[in-house]
Structure formats: C-alpha cells, structure tokens
A and B are shown apart, each in its own frame.
Chain A
C-alpha cells in the first residue's frame, strides 16, 4: 500500500489521474491519496473515480474501511470520500428502502432525512416516539427505523420497547396461525424491524440500554459515513443491480 499526502507532493509532469492509473493496472501496490477536505470544492479531483481518496485527518476507522474496500471490495470502484464509503456502496444498500426517521428536533430530522434520501432511500419523518409507534404498528411497509433516543415526551428506548411488544404480540398470533403471514406479497414469518438508535453522546451505557430495549444498534448523529455503512450493512444486502 502507498499513501500519499496530496499537499506535500505536487505532481507537475502528469496529472493525479494518470499517476493513479499506473497503480490500477497492477494488483499491487494500492495507492491512496490523503487529501485536505477544505479543497473539496475542487470537484474534478474528488470525483475522479480512479482515485482512492481518504480525507484528512486520517482516522483509524476510515482507514480500515477504505483498505477493506480497495483490497477486497467486489467490483464496486466508487472512490472513498469523507467517511462516505463510496456513495455507490451506501446507495446500493439503501436504494429504494423505506426508512422511518424519528427525532423531535426538526433540524436534526431534516439533515438525517436528507442524508438518507441522498442514497436513494424513501424517507418518512416522525417527530415523536408516539408517532413512531403509530407508523411501526405491524403490519407496515418500513424496512428500517432510525430513532433518536433523547426525546422529551417518550424517549427512543420506551418507543422501541412498545414497538417490540406489538411485534411480539403479532408474532404470537402468526405462530398460532391466527393471522395471515403475507403482506404486500411478502411472507413475513416474524416481525422485527431493524431499529437503529441515533445518539449525540455515544457511550457504553447507551449501547447497553439500546440493546436492552430491543434496538439493533446505534449510530451517532449527525451520521458518520463509515459507521452508517457498517450498521446498515448488517441488515441490508447490497443491491448489485441498481435500477
């Protein structure tokens, strides 16, 4: 692997793209370019799909994901940008997925919804735990839920507990054959919508409480690219055929 800091090495004789193509034609070594995010407006450079770009400051998690993708990533040559592990990757996971985002803070809601929509998700917003429960009473057609945990009237933990309760009740009836398993042409043996907590303070206690209340994981807010990808990849398989 070769990591080059773009700012400390200015190429004069050839362009970065041509330089990088010398590496892509052979399997090894892999070239990664460390770039300054303040230069993101230099759009041509950042959109060049031949370049594996990692934004500075270099973070261990981002490095891990970038290396994994570059060394093992199957066919997806989307470049790595700003923690967003190749827009192509999150897009392939989220395209067409129906996501419910729950947050009582309208600014956070707007930004979170915007981020998910960017990857092709169909986003519905809810501004309270109560609304979330209304939306997620089965049967429903949501594929996943992002839930703020710090909400005044009913926090995310309580809302999740109640949703799991509703699911459990319906699942019981499904087991006893009291109720039809088919919804929208899909056969659902057991209801369990993936619920990811959105939290501003990611601490160990929060993690345990998330799991105890029936949540499936958590992400920080605002979203952090590679963490979002990692969590979402646990529930959604990449759609290799993007329509």
Chain B
C-alpha cells in the first residue's frame, strides 16, 4: 500500500476544499482540536454535522411543502442550519443559508425554494468530498512521524 501517495491525495483533496471555498478557517480550528485525547474529533464533528443538517433539511422540505408558508418557522430552521455550518467551516453552505434567510425576510417563497435547492446541492457535494477525504485518511493510516505535507 502506498501510504505516501494516499496521504498526498488526501492533502490535495483537503486543499481543494479550501481553494474552492467549500471550507473556511473554522475548519482549521476543528483540526486544532484534534489531539491524542480526541484523535477522531474532526470526523466525529463532521459526521454529527451531516446527521444534524439532514434532519434540519428534511424539516425545511416539509415546511416548504405545506400550502401555508410559515416564514418564521423556515427562518428558525435555517438559522439552526447556518449555525451548524458556521461551526464546522462549511463556507458555501453558510452563504446559501444567509441567502435563504433573506428570502424569508422578504417573504419571497420562490427565492426560498431556489436557494434551498442550492443548499441541497452544496450539502451533497460537501458530504461526498469530505467522506472521500476521511476515507483516504483512514486508508493512509496514522502518521508515525511528522511529515511536511505538500502545500
């Protein structure tokens, strides 16, 4: 098994996530919190995020489906989702959440639906990429000695 190659792949995936704006510096904070006492902290928090956000998004889907649009309720759900996104550094999703909330404030239901579709897409892409990233890390195994990763 070429661990160096896998680690390079993981590093490159990770760099891409930052370069393309999927993640922001809050994600560094998560990585900073990972240590011997919490060796899988980042993956645990990210897993928690996707579980939590899926639930919130299902609630939002339901609320959007109803005939009577409760913009207050939608805004509350979205505030929760935005909070979670901020906590893990999910930058693009965070921006889209803000756009959705603007539409709620304007009571613009079409705008809400459009931005929600975007949120769902971003969510799916981010999930795919992060899942690949963690899988690569797992395959590459623990780093025994401090290596200087590629920039």
Chain A residues within 8 Å of B, Cβ to Cβ = 37-44, 82, 84, 105-108, 110-111, 114-115, 117-118, 150, 152, 200, 221-222
Determine if A107 and B49 form an interchain contact, defined as CB atoms under 8 angstroms apart.
Answer: yes
CA A222 to CA B38, docked complex, whole Å? 19
Residue of B nearest to A43 (CB): B146
Chain A residues within 8 Å of B35, by CB: 118
Size of B's binding interface in residues, CB under 8 A:
31
For the A-B complex with A42-B148, A84-B32, A111-B45 known, give 9 more contacts whose Cβ atoms are closer than 8 Å: A41-B149, A82-B29, A105-B83, A106-B48, A107-B88, A110-B44, A111-B87, A114-B41, A222-B29
Q: Which of B73-99 contact A (CB under 8 A)?
A: 76, 79-80, 82-84, 86-88
Chain B residues within 8 Å of A108, by CB: 83-84, 87
Q: Which of B94-151 contact A (CB under 8 A)?
A: 146, 148-149, 151
CA A44 to CA B52, docked complex, whole Å? 36
Q: Which of A38, A41, A117, A221 contacts B87 (CB 8 A)?
A: A221
Shortest Cβ distance from residue A113 to the other chain B in the assembled complex, whole angstroms: 10
Chain A residues within 8 Å of B37, by CB: 117
Q: Which of A38, A106, A110, A118 contacts B18 (CB 8 A)?
A: A38
Chain B residues within 8 Å of A222, by CB: 26, 29, 86-87
Determine if B52 and A106 form an interchain contact, defined as CB atoms under 8 angstroms apart.
Answer: yes
CA A55 to CA B149, docked complex, whole Å? 19
A contact face: mostly helix, strand, loop, or mixed: helix
User: 29 interchain pairs (CB within 8 A)?
Assistant: A37-B28, A38-B18, A44-B146, A44-B148, A82-B25, A105-B83, A106-B48, A107-B45, A107-B52, A107-B88, A108-B83, A108-B84, A110-B45, A111-B29, A111-B88, A114-B30, A114-B33, A114-B41, A117-B38, A118-B32, A118-B33, A118-B35, A150-B83, A200-B82, A221-B83, A221-B87, A222-B26, A222-B29, A222-B86
Determine if B38 and A114 form an interchain contact, defined as CB atoms under 8 angstroms apart.
Answer: yes
CA A200 to CA B84, docked complex, whole Å? 10
CA A108 to CA B41, docked complex, whole Å? 13
Give the residue among A37, A44, A107, A222 with the most B Cβ atoms within 10 A: A107
Shortest Cβ distance from residue B17 to the other chain A in the assembled complex, whole angstroms: 12
CA A152 to CA B80, docked complex, whole Å? 10
